[in-house]
């Protein structure tokens, strides 16, 4: 009942032309993939052109961040409404790179998610522990703090517009994937947390993606886990062939 989502996070890669070219390559490769929501997140400057490029395809567009105000004197920021105006349906919020390098906190994540879903976007909310936190047995505690912080003030209806992405920081861009058991264990923990905070129905419906060195050769095992509903893919989403192979995990 949870439709799998495969989302590509292009990070700070690709010009407008390169982004459109990648989508032109990707579209025919994924056009027959049914029952998987396919999303790509290019840089801000490409969003509008890329949205035109995916029209009438089964690919949706996400931004990689947003601000929580609708407008005002906020130099450098982009509002959720403007992302919709540029053709986005989704937005990634709280990616660990934003937490690590740009001062993102659970409180700013919370405000951004609220603004994003109020505007009509689906928010892909990222959580994940550092290696030091895992090694000191604090993974669950860290995840709980991040989830509770991100979802503070939300109700069960809001959760229909939220996708969680569990991305252990030590597995991002390192080639080290969490083992399927490590990933499943945290996904189940998140699902149980959502059942406690909201209700079992909401927890059964919310999609929880795994992220961190997802590749064509490990996606199948990950997707076989009962609580893994998709993937947030960085490096392997920058090539049409590998991203299409990931999106075709069940073909």
Interface residue list for ligand PGA (CB under 6 A): 9, 167, 172-173, 211-214, 232-236
Q: How far is the CB of 164 from ligand PGA (least distance, A)?
A: 13
Burial of 3 from C-beta contacts in 10 A (0-12 / 13-18 / 19+): exposed
Catalytic residue (one of 90, 95, 129, 133): 95
> What is the C-alpha separation between 186 and 164, in angstroms, rounded?
12
Residue reference for tokens 């579209």:
27
Nearer to ligand PGA, 79 or 150 (CB): 150
Nearer to ligand PGA, 120 or 173 (CB): 173
Nearer to ligand PGA, 211 or 230 (CB): 211
Instruction: Give 20-26's long-range contacts (Cβ < 8 A, gap of 24+).
Output: 20/46, 20/49, 20/50, 20/53, 22/238, 22/239, 22/240, 23/50, 23/53, 23/54, 23/59, 24/53, 25/240, 26/59, 26/240, 26/243, 26/244
Q: How far is the CB of 174 from ligand PGA (least distance, A)?
A: 7
Q: How far is the CB of 157 from ligand PGA (least distance, A)?
A: 27
Residue 208 bridge partners (DSSP): 164
Catalytic residue (one of 97, 104, 129, 167): 167
Q: How far is the CB of 12 from ligand PGA (least distance, A)?
A: 12
Nearer to ligand PGA, 12 or 73 (CB): 12
Nearer to ligand PGA, 31 or 176 (CB): 176
- Residue 187 is a catalytic residue: no
- Residue 167 is a catalytic residue: yes
> What is the C-alpha separation between 64 and 84, in angstroms, rounded?
13
> What is the C-alpha separation between 126 and 119, in angstroms, rounded?
19
Q: How far is the CB of 171 from ligand PGA (least distance, A)?
A: 6
Residue 8 bridge partners (DSSP): 40, 233
| Residue 149 and residue 109 in contact, taking contact as beta carbons nearer than 8 Å | yes
Residues tagged active-site: 95, 167
């Amino acid at each position: 009942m949870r439709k799998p989502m495969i989302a590509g996070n292009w990070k700070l890669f690709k010009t407008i032309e390169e982004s459109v070219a990648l989508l032109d390559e990707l579209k025919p490769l994924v056009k027959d993939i049914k029952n998987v929501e396919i999303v790509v997140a290019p840089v801000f400057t490409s969003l509008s052109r890329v949205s035109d490029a995916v029209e009438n395809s089964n690919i949706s567009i996400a931004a990689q961040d947003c601000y929580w105000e609708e407008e005002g004197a906020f130099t450098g920021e982009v509002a959720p409404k403007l992302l919709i105006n540029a053709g986005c349906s989704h937005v990634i919020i709280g990616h660990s790179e934003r937490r690590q390098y740009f001062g993102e906190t659970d409180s700013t994540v919370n405000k951004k998610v609220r603004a994003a879903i109020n505007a009509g976007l689906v928010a892909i909310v990222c959580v994940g522990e550092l290696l030091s936190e895992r090694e000191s047995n604090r993974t669950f505690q860290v995840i709980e703090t991040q989830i509770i912080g991100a979802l503070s003030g939300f109700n069960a209806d809001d959760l229909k517009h939220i996708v969680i992405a569990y991305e252990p920081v030590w597995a991002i861009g390192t080639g080290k994937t969490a083992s399927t058991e490590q990933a499943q264990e945290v996904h189940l923990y998140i699902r149980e947390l959502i059942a406690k905070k909201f209700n079992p129905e909401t927890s059964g419906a919310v999609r929880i993606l795994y992220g961190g060195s997802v590749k064509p050769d490990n996606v199948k095992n990950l997707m076989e886990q009962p609580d893994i509903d998709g993937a947030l893919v960085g490096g392997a989403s920058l090539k049409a062939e590998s991203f299409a192979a990931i999106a075709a995990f069940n073909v």
